[in-house]
């Protein structure tokens, strides 16, 4: 259920895709592996850029660091070469190494040439810290969980307290995975910009929903006075953009985040990765010159607006779909739905 149907509000003015998710971009798939057992509230989320072999058929990409309090893998090569050659993995902070190793093994299994007759591979892993709800020191995410998330990738995926989002908190509430999309016309053809967020950032007192500050008070909320979380944003589009233009749309993520009340504090990591399925880069090119199409910068404002609206809605969607979770040491992350209902169902979840 989307924001419009659940809350009877519309975020922005642009048309959404049929699913209102990142998977409205043809070929993009998302999968989860969720670990939910008492003190263990964590997981993995995988994003496939397309259904083929991403190493052999790379997509043009860019990244942008809004605030660099993070432990991501693979961003340097994305910005140097302008391509993405693996799925993107999201998980908790202390599982980045495990996820990176598992993703490398996955790519080796599908590409006999890597590290043999050709170069190595650039795994891409991003993280947020779910240590408030989960026993992050236990290193509970194993390589098998990475493979499960990759095998689970599909168009109709869950949002909320699932996968990497299981132990995340957003604006002091239960956060996690959120997604949204926007469509626009260029030369009378419909294109899509989709986003997926892993929300674990910002303060409750700053939360804004569709331009309206939220003022309800709950005894279940923490009294944190500083933003110590993070948010990872993935942008996908089927519009032909250059890596320079992809970097530009990454920067517009700030608009959507600020519309929900985030000020991107010192202790919060905001990382953005964007890719386009329209421009592919073959690992083994048949010609010396490769062709690349990209839109005119005179019409890119439409894409900027789509990014702003989709990111704003994706953050709210992560709140809307997340259930209340009781985790490590009985710490409770209450869902926004429970807040708006007076918190009556919180005790039943313990």
337-346 long-range CB contacts below 8 Å, 24 or more apart? 339/173, 339/216, 339/218, 340/216, 343/218, 343/219, 343/220, 346/220
pLDDT at 344 (0 to 100): 47
Q: How far apart are CA 60 and CA 85, in angstroms?
A: 9
pLDDT at 350: 44
What pLDDT shows up at residue 338?
A: 86
Architecture of domain 3-340: 4-Layer Sandwich (3.60)
Phi and psi at 213, nearest 5°, equal: -65, 140
The dihedrals phi and psi of 237, each to the nearest 5 degrees, come to: -150, 155
User: What per-residue confidence (pLDDT) applies to 1?
Assistant: 62
Q: What is the pLDDT of residue 179?
A: 98
pLDDT in the model for residue 229 = 86
One digit per residue, the tens of pLDDT, for the chain of length 350 reads: 677 667 788 999 999 999 999 999 999 999 999 999 999 999 999 999 999 999 999 999 999 999 999 999 999 999 999 999 999 999 999 999 999 999 999 999 999 999 999 999 999 999 999 999 999 999 999 999 999 999 999 999 999 999 999 999 999 999 999 999 999 999 999 999 999 999 999 999 999 999 999 866 555 565 666 777 899 999 999 999 999 999 999 999 999 999 999 999 999 999 999 999 999 999 999 999 999 999 999 999 999 999 999 999 999 999 999 999 999 999 999 999 888 776 544 444 44
Confidence at residue 9, expressed as pLDDT on a 0 to 100 scale:
85
Q: Give the length of the chain.
A: 350
Per-residue pLDDT, 174: 97
DSSP string, 151-218: HT-BSS---BSSGGGTT-EETTEE-EEEEEEEEEEETTEEEEEEEEEEEE---GGG-EETTEE-----
Catalytic residues: 230, 268, 270
Q: Where are the domains of the chain?
A: 3-340
Residue with tokens 């290193």: 139
Structure confidence at residue 223 (pLDDT): 62
pLDDT of residue 337: 86
Which pTM was predicted? 0.96
Q: What is the pLDDT of residue 214?
A: 84
Contact by Cβ (8 Å): 127, 71: yes
């Amino acid at each position: 259920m989307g924001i419009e149907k659940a809350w009877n509000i519309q975020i922005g003015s642009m048309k959404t895709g049929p699913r209102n998710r990142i998977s409205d971009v043809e070929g993009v798939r998302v999968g989860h592996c969720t670990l939910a057992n008492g003190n263990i509230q964590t997981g993995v989320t995988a994003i496939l850029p397309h259904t083929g072999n991403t190493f052999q058929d790379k997509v043009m990409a860019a990244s942008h660091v809004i605030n660099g309090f993070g432990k991501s893998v693979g961003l340097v090569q994305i910005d140097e070469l302008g391509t993405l050659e693996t799925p993107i993995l999201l998980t908790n902070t202390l599982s980045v190494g495990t996820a990176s190793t598992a993703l490398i093994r996955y790519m080796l299994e599908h590409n006999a040439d890597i590290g043999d007759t050709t170069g190595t591979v650039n795994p891409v892993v991003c993280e947020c810290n779910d240590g408030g709800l989960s026993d992050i020191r236990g290193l509970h995410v194993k390589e098998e969980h990475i493979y499960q998330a990759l095998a689970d990738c599909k168009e109709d995926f869950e949002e909320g307290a699932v996968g990497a989002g299981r132990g995340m908190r957003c604006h002091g509430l239960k956060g996690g995975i959120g997604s949204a999309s926007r469509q626009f016309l260029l030369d009378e053809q419909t294109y899509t910009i989709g986003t997926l967020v892993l929300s674990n950032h910002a303060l409750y007192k700053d939360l804004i929903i569709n331009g309206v500050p939220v003022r309800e008070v709950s005894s279940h909320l923490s009294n944190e006075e500083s933003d110590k979380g993070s948010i990872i944003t993935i942008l996908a589009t089927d519009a032909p953009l250059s890596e320079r233009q992809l970097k530009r749309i990454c920067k517009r993520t700030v608009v959507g985040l600020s519309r929900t009340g985030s000020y991107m504090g010192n202790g919060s990591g905001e990382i953005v990765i964007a890719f386009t399925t329209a421009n592919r880069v073959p690992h083994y090119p048949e010609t010396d010159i490769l062709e690349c199409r990209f839109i005119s910068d005179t019409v890119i404002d439409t894409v900027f607006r789509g990014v702003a609206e989709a990111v704003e809605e994706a953050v709210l969607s992560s709140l809307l779909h997340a259930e209340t979770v009781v985790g490590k040491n009985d710490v409770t992350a209450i869902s926004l739905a429970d807040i708006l209902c007076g918190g009556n169902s919180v005790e039943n979840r313990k």
